């Protein structure tokens, strides 16, 4: 039988992998392939953090495949040229891949499909990275949902209890393997990945372990504790989902089993799955409004007078040197771990686009480069949500106060003390606003504002007034 090529891009796993499972079911030799095609990604070439993650994930995937008697063929370059060469080299009669929803990847997959047709190769595209396909969730008039709650209510009516397909016991191997190459996935600067590597273990096995640990414990407190950044109460599965190391259907299935009849566990699981729903919603938005990574969904915000480009103020925000502790803690957590707590993501984003009045794309670009869970749909939809210009967006006039947000969600300053250690000796009452602390208190804590810790980079009252005035300028649009 002619071999089946399985393009593993977007689904770096063996469990609940329809494209791989169907290939194995044919009984033909199966050749898993991963292609790094930076040129096809255009402006959305993988960021530094995700390149590191991908490197480690491919190592893990190769090991898993080898345990099944298989291997991973790795190539770098033009996807169409590489597939054409592999089809000729292996005599493959079929090509399977997992459906992508990002505009540039969907376009590339269309081209792959056309190439396969030209070569007389059967090409199949399988769902696998969403609970529901974008075409399935429509409102009563057949339109697209732009508000999350009705979207999720409809999705809950459609999601079925289909059991995910387990990883194949063995994967039929070809008589000879195509050559595989080392990919250039080293992050730059190289030392940046060292603290990230200490924090994360990429790969499918780690994803399943993380899910099991979460469902065994923290899920029961998820509803009440998910907004507290100093507590490990969230699943931290986002990078595994973003890199295709675990499927949302597997997470859904295991979470539904774990719900049980205990009230707290049931509520916690339901709130957790709701967050999975936000991921679905973001992808559905990107599919239906493919311009949202670059342009606002609400057209009136096209004229909004955001600042653009980069200067010292943006650098201070990126490095966690704004003088507002909860902002600085979040940005330093991002740099040190490649991840940031979701509540803090909202706070730092609000600060950039509303207090600093900087364009949301500036933050979108920084998150794309520094997050191990960088996802085009989530990133674009979330930044537009905070900026007030996206679907179901927070009203623009809702401007998070970093001091009161810190007091509410990090009341003892545990999160701040972990990531802004120069403030660790401040009393709780001043940890969120060291600029309000008496000189004597600062001296006892070993702090000199402007030297050991920055003075506030802006006057929040003036910043708020400036932001609201900017909003007024769009009212006539």
Selecting among 221, 275, 418, 422, the annotated active-site residue is 275
Among residues 152, 383, 401, 407, the one annotated as catalytic is 383
What whole-number distance in Å separates Cα of residue 269 and Cα of residue 278? 14
Question: What was the pLDDT predicted at 190?
Answer: 67
278, 339, 366, 368: the catalytic one is 278
Q: Is 308 a catalytic residue?
A: no
What per-residue confidence (pLDDT) applies to 392?
80
Any residues with CB less than 8 A from the CB of 369 and at least 6 apart, and which?
Answer: 47, 48, 49
Q: Please list, in sequence order, all residues whose beta carbon lies within 8 angstroms of the beta carbon of residue 94, skipping any fewer than 6 positions away.
A: 2, 3, 4, 5, 23, 26, 28, 121, 122, 123, 124
Note the pLDDT tens digit of each residue in 133-155: 999 999 999 999 999 999 999 99
Domains and CATH numbers, the chain: 4-129 (3.40.50.620), 130-164+205-288 (1.25.40.80), 299-469 (1.10.579.10)
Q: In angstroms, rounded to a whole number, what is the distance separating the alpha carbons of residues 177 and 170?
A: 16
Which residues does the chain have with pLDDT short of 70?
190, 261-262, 264, 393-394, 396, 475-477
Tokens of 61: 């995937």
The single residue of 44, 52, 252, 306 carrying the catalytic annotation is 306
**Burial label, 157 (beta-carbon count in 10 A; 0-12, 13-18, 19+):** exposed
Catalytic residue check, 342: yes
Alpha-carbon gap, residue 410 to 122, rounded angstroms: 55
C-beta separation of 268 from 220 below 8 A: yes
Give this prediction's pTM: 0.96
Q: What is the pLDDT of residue 264?
A: 65
| Annotated catalytic residue 278 | yes
So what's the pLDDT on residue 476?
52
Alpha helices by DSSP H, 182-288:
193-199, 204-216, 222-225, 238-242, 248-259, 263-288
Backbone φ and ψ for 186, nearest 5 degrees, come out as -75, 125
So what's the pLDDT on residue 471?
Answer: 82
* pLDDT reported for residue 477: 47
How far apart CA 211 and CA 276 sit, in angstroms, is 13
pLDDT at residue 361, as a whole number: 97
Q: What angle do CA 68, 98, 371 make, to 5 degrees?
A: 95
| Nearest residue to 431 (alpha-carbon basis) of 392, 402, 394, 397 | 402
The Cα-based distances of 177 to 14, 31, 47, 91 in angstroms read: 19, 8, 31, 12
- Of the residues 177, 342, 418, 422, only one is catalytic, namely 342
306 is catalytic: yes
pLDDT of residue 260: 73
């Amino acid at each position: 039988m002619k071999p089946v090529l399985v393009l593993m891009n977007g689904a770096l796993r063996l469990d609940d992998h329809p494209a791989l499972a169907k290939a194995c079911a044919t009984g033909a030799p199966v050749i898993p392939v991963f292609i790094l095609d930076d040129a096809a990604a255009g402006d959305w070439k993988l960021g530094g953090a995700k390149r590191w993650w991908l490197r480690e994930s491919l190592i893990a995937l190769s090991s898993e495949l080898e345990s099944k008697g298989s291997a991973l063929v790795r190539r770098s370059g033009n996807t169409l040229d590489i597939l054409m060469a592999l089809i000729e080299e292996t005599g493959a009669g079929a090509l399977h891949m997992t459906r992508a929803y990002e505009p540039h990847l969907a376009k590339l997959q269309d081209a792959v499909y056309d190439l396969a047709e030209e070569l007389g190769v059967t090409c199949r595209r399988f769902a696998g990275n969403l609970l529901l396909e974008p075409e399935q969730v429509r409102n009563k008039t057949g339109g697209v949902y732009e508000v999350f709650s009705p979207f999720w209510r409809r999705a809950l009516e459609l999601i079925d209890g289909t059991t995910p397909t387990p990883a194949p016991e063995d994967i039929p191997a070809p008589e000879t393997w195509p050559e595989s190459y080392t990919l250039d996935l080293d992050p730059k600067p190289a030392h940046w990945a060292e603290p990230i590597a200490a924090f994360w273990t990429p790969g499918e096995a780690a994803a399943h372990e993380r899910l099991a640990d979460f469902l065994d414990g923290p899920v029961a407190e998820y509803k009440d504790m998910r907004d507290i950044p100093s507590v490990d109460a969230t699943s931290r599965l986002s990078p595994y989902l973003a890199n295709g190391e675990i499927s949302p259907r597997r997470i859904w299935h295991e979470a539904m089993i774990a719900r049980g009849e205990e009230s707290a566990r049931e509520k916690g699981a339901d709130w957790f799955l709701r967050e999975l729903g936000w991921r679905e919603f973001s992808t559905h938005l990107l599919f239906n409004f493919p311009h949202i990574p670059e342009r606002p969904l609400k057209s009136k915000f096209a004229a909004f007078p955001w600042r653009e480009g980069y200067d010292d103020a943006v650098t201070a925000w990126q490095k966690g040197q704004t003088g507002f502790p909860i902002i600085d803690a979040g940005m330093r957590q991002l740099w040190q771990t490649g991840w940031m707590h979701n509540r803090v993501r909202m706070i730092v984003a609000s600060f950039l686009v509303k207090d600093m009045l900087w364009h949301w794309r500036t933050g979108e670009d920084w998150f794309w480069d520094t997050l191990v869970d960088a996802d085009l749909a989530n990133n674009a939809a979330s930044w537009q949500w905070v900026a007030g210009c996206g679907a179901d967006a927070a009203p623009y006039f809702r401007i998070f106060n970093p001091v009161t947000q810190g007091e509410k969600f990090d009341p003892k300053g545990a999160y701040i003390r972990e990531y802004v250690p120069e403030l660790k000796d401040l009393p709780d009452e001043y940890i969120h606003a060291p600029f309000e602390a008496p000189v004597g208190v600062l001296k006892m804590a070993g702090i000199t504002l402007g030297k050991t810790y920055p003075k506030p980079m802006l006057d929040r009252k003036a910043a708020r007034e400036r932001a609201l005035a900017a909003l007024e300028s769009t009212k006539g649009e």
